[in-house]
Amino acid sequence: MDHLAGEVERQLAAKGFDGPTPRRPDLLVRYRAAVTSRVEVINGEPTGYGYCVFDCINRTSEYETATLAPLCRM
């Protein structure tokens, strides 16, 4: 997240905005971030007859999803 904050400051500075200031800012950028672990189970592909014809191995896939919600206020 530090990389994100630094990149936002760099991009705003390129547009003429000065970085963090002790006085009331002209533009306030805030954000919330969340990372959620997910597990997906993929069942073998059974036929309509109640048995598998080929590969009937259940598979799991573990991954993380991230959500970033920026809020800009002038």
Any idea where the domains of the chain sit in the sequence?
2-73
How many Cα atoms sit within 13 Å of 24 on the Cβ side? 2
Q: Residue 16 — very low, low, confident or very high, per pLDDT cuts 50/70/90?
A: confident
- In the chain, % helix, strand, coil (3-state, to 5) comes to 20, 45, 40
Over residues 37-63, the mean pLDDT reads 73
Contacts of 8 (CB under 8 A, 6+ apart): 29
pLDDT over 90 at 2, yes or no: no
Within 13 Å, how many C-alpha atoms sit on residue 10's CB side?
A: 6
With a pLDDT cut of 90, the percent of the chain lying above it is: 18
Angstrom distance (rounded) from CA 15 to CA 63: 37
